[in-house]
Structure 1
């Protein structure tokens, strides 16, 4: 593959620095040609991270004057993601867009439609699509090893301090910030396995920990004709990281990933080895994955160079975001 040139458009997303670091760890594949920081406040929060030490910060005009850019990494603060993405798509660039994609579903739909009409790639920042343990489960589902799927249960929680909740989650301007920022990853996985549900039932709550008045605890049911799938998130859970999980149950077997990352463990059990009243699962050996985003960017490079196609359609991206907003408590006319 040829080496791709990219620019970073906005740095105030919580995932930006880690993505820049992982891109820089693949110098044979990627060259970061410039970085645009959206404000002095954002620079004071993020701009002194080690990953930016040898990169050139520049104005917005300078960034879009760079020659032969192959794609743009769109990483502003969460409320500005779609606005920044639209600038790039309007100018004809492929993008990697962090998530979530805004509270205005219509704006995101218009962005996707414009990208589709221009044949531009929008790679969403759902990193679990490229997690080795998750891929193992999805591959087994696709190969039919689990048979008909009867349930998918997911959890993605963490224990955040009050300052982080106030400065970030509560600034997103959504009904249920925890479901919005974490649940979107899980809903993406459920839709990948199950397709479109018949309805979404949100059950989000305020724990009031730290006297913070916002929905930091979320639960949603995605209902299917022959299955019920669940999403649980919590921004205030002690040791929530260890309980991050993805469990797929089929008529022929069950696979559980828990924790999802750092470390990762997969337990699987198939019908021919199952016992009704005792544990029978066995662990699946997996090469440790000490990174989060590399495989995602390698795949983006292959898509841009037309070596591989995008397995996630524009319609899939729209549906995932619509369902996420429904899980947050929003409703849309069909």
Structure 2
């Protein structure tokens, strides 16, 4: 694949760098004040949804503008929702906006980490969409830069703030499920010819681009696996090279987790699921983002009884609202982000291994 370097992005002027440096250790905004935020990129599959979420939270955020590596893309985007009415500017202009504190990075996957590095160097907190590129060392360098400048990187793994997964994480961390022995997860769809062509650019296929959401959830409850076994099928070869049918087995001392990603499934969306079983109980979430949960417990915990119960957990707001509500609290200094650097690096390494990619383990 073509790798983009920072030289392929417009160089920030010396004057801009000097003015941006003053923001690096700026005090967090006061409680209740609006956070100035911008977005770089409209090419990510989640880009429009993230902007819609930000603009649905006007009491928390003031959107100062939209930028892109290709300014023409930004100019086209503001002609349609949810970008209508936004100011279009270069990346340098956006990062030099007085009072700017956060940036949502929503570029093509290949550009995510280099663009995020520009933002961190400019002293910004960032929401970085997934997955964080194909290099573990490059992502580790980004994380180290963020630590040095005391800036937040919130990864865009959308299941983190889904109410069914919030319940799962609570159950796992508080021991409701006892010793966890088994995780089984699947995320698939029937890919159109256009989507197949788009995803074929990633050597790691759907496991890399889509099932990274599942892997983030597995690592949240079980940590980094001891070993990852990746099985990849390219069913349409030699017509195309897309890795469209994949299975990863994540091995732990007492548990195994299986993660499937299948882009050949006409019923992929309703079959998406996440199941966890342990000595004290089990949880099945299906379909994945529906909030429909079967919770089974060997003993009662709080409001949940012994035995099996079906729960319908409704989300407040849109698909991504929880991410930016939480990010605002972190930027204001009201809390720490639940998912730390160690977690994000473990997830990214696991994603790369599960997708069958070579992992460069040289980290700063």
Normalised TM-score (structure 2) = 0.84
2:200 corresponds in structure 1 to 170
Going from structure 1 to structure 2, the CA distance change for 1:307 and 1:40 (only over 3 Å counts) comes to closer
Tell me, yes or no, if the aligned pair for 1:246 and 1:256 is still in contact at 8 Å: yes
Going from structure 1 to structure 2, the CA distance change for 1:40 and 1:165 (only over 3 Å counts) comes to farther
1:276 corresponds in structure 2 to none
Count of residue pairs the alignment pairs up: 324
Q: Which runs of 5+ in 1 are unaligned?
A: 274-279
Tell me, yes or no, if the aligned pair for 2:295 and 2:308 is still in contact at 8 Å: yes
Q: Which runs of 5+ in 2 are unaligned?
A: 1-31, 301-306
Tell me, yes or no, if the aligned pair for 1:190 and 1:229 is still in contact at 8 Å: yes
Give the Cα–Cα distance (whole angstroms) in 1 for the partners of residues 188 and 73 of structure 2: 26
Q: CA deviation at 1:38?
A: 2.3
Give the Cα–Cα distance (whole angstroms) in 2 for the partners of residues 40 and 94 of structure 1: 22
Superposition RMSD in Å: 2.0
Give the Cα–Cα distance (whole angstroms) in 2 for the partners of residues 256 and 24 of structure 1: 33
Tell me, yes or no, if the aligned pair for 1:11 and 1:47 is still in contact at 8 Å: no
2:13 corresponds in structure 1 to none
User: SS at the partner of 1:7?
Assistant: strand
Q: Deviations over 1:28-70 (max 9, x none)?
A: 1111101002226634874533111111111223212211012
Give the Cα–Cα distance (whole angstroms) in 2 for the partners of residues 226 and 39 of structure 1: 48
2:278 corresponds in structure 1 to 250
User: SS at the partner of 2:208?
Assistant: helix
Regions of 4+ moved over 4 Å:
43-47
2:7 corresponds in structure 1 to none
Going from structure 1 to structure 2, the CA distance change for 1:187 and 1:25 (only over 3 Å counts) comes to same
Q: CA deviation at 1:320?
A: 0.5
Give the Cα–Cα distance (whole angstroms) in 1 for the partners of residues 189 and 75 of structure 2: 25
Tell me, yes or no, if the aligned pair for 2:74 and 2:88 is still in contact at 8 Å: no
Give the Cα–Cα distance (whole angstroms) in 2 for the partners of residues 301 and 88 of structure 1: 17
Q: CA deviation at 1:288?
A: 4.6
Going from structure 1 to structure 2, the CA distance change for 1:234 and 1:83 (only over 3 Å counts) comes to same
* Aligned: 1:64 with 2:64: no
* Aligned: 1:7 with 2:38: yes
Give the Cα–Cα distance (whole angstroms) in 1 for the partners of residues 208 and 60 of structure 2: 32
1:303 corresponds in structure 2 to 330
Give the Cα–Cα distance (whole angstroms) in 1 for the partners of residues 46 and 338 of structure 2: 23
Going from structure 1 to structure 2, the CA distance change for 1:47 and 1:157 (only over 3 Å counts) comes to farther
Any residues of structure 2 matched to 1:74-89 within 5 Å, and which? 74-89=105-120
1:241 corresponds in structure 2 to 269
* Aligned: 1:216 with 2:216: no
Give the Cα–Cα distance (whole angstroms) in 1 for the partners of residues 241 and 312 of structure 2: 43
1:109 corresponds in structure 2 to 140
Tell me, yes or no, if the aligned pair for 1:222 and 1:230 is still in contact at 8 Å: yes
Q: CA deviation at 1:289?
A: 5.0
Give the Cα–Cα distance (whole angstroms) in 2 for the partners of residues 40 and 65 of structure 1: 16
Going from structure 1 to structure 2, the CA distance change for 1:315 and 1:48 (only over 3 Å counts) comes to same
Tell me, yes or no, if the aligned pair for 1:152 and 1:246 is still in contact at 8 Å: yes
1:204 corresponds in structure 2 to 232
Any residues of structure 2 matched to 1:109-128 within 5 Å, and which? 109-128=140-159
Going from structure 1 to structure 2, the CA distance change for 1:227 and 1:316 (only over 3 Å counts) comes to same
Give the Cα–Cα distance (whole angstroms) in 1 for the partners of residues 153 and 225 of structure 2: 24
Give the Cα–Cα distance (whole angstroms) in 1 for the partners of residues 141 and 252 of structure 2: 28
2:104 corresponds in structure 1 to 73
2:219 corresponds in structure 1 to 191
Normalised TM-score (structure 1) = 0.92
Give the Cα–Cα distance (whole angstroms) in 1 for the partners of residues 182 and 281 of structure 2: 11
Tell me, yes or no, if the aligned pair for 1:176 and 1:218 is still in contact at 8 Å: no
1:90 corresponds in structure 2 to 121
Going from structure 1 to structure 2, the CA distance change for 1:209 and 1:131 (only over 3 Å counts) comes to farther
Tell me, yes or no, if the aligned pair for 2:129 and 2:155 is still in contact at 8 Å: yes
Going from structure 1 to structure 2, the CA distance change for 1:43 and 1:235 (only over 3 Å counts) comes to farther
User: SS at the partner of 2:170?
Assistant: helix
Structure 1 stretch 283-292 or stretch 186-195: which is displaced more?
283-292
2:292 corresponds in structure 1 to 265
1:291 corresponds in structure 2 to 318
Tell me, yes or no, if the aligned pair for 2:291 and 2:314 is still in contact at 8 Å: no
